[in-house]
């Protein structure tokens, strides 16, 4: 009877060994598949990777487009500022000419009263006040810190 017991015991050991071998083979197959996938992804990522030269080219393109945009904005603002200054100068010149034609002696026009009550004298003063108001509006619209000359350049 001892021989039948040994055969049974050897059969159990053999089944366990077969099961362990199958599990081991499945695990080896999974490991090989994972390693293959990792290698494929690494090669694919390396092929599609951005080189330093590509990155520098992109930086240069972005810097160039940003400089062009900033340059066009600055140019547009300088043109607008120049036109506002010209308009202020024209209004100042017109105001000075109006003051000279009235015979002012450097006094503020708003403090002068018309010498006679005629409509012509009042119309001239009203026009000067309109020009003064327009001049003040233009000065208020001008950017801060750009009140005169080209100090900011």
Instruction: List the domain range (segments joined by +) for residue 93.
Output: 76-99+124-144
The pLDDT value recorded for residue 139 is 77
Task: Please indicate, yes or no, if residue 86 is contained in any of the structural domains.
Answer: yes
Residue 146 three-state SS? coil
Closest CA to 146 of 90, 84, 89: 84
Burial 58-83 (b: 16+ CB within 10 A, else e): eeeeeeeeeeeeeeeeeeeeeeeeee
One domain for residues 42 and 95: no
pLDDT at 31 over 90: yes
The pLDDT value recorded for residue 102 is 54
Task: Please indicate, yes or no, if residue 128 is contained in any of the structural domains.
Answer: yes
The pLDDT value recorded for residue 106 is 45
Element (H, E) at 102: none
């Amino acid at each position: 009877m001892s021989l039948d017991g040994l055969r049974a015991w050897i059969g159990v050991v053999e089944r366990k060994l077969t099961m362990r071998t199958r599990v081991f083979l499945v695990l080896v197959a999974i490991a090989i598949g994972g390693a293959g996938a990792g290698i494929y992804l690494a090669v694919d990522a390396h092929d599609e990777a951005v080189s330093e030269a590509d990155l520098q080219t992109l930086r240069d393109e972005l810097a160039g487009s940003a400089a062009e945009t900033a340059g066009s904005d600055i140019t547009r603002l300088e043109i607008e500022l120049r036109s506002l200054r010209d308009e202020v100068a024209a209004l100042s010149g017109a105001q000075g000419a109006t003051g000279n034609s009235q015979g002012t002696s450097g006094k503020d026009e708003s403090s002068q009263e018309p010498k006679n009550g005629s409509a012509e004298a009042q119309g001239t003063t009203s026009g000067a006040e309109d020009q003064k108001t327009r001049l003040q509006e233009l000065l208020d619209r001008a950017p801060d810190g750009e009140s005169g000359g080209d100090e900011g350049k």
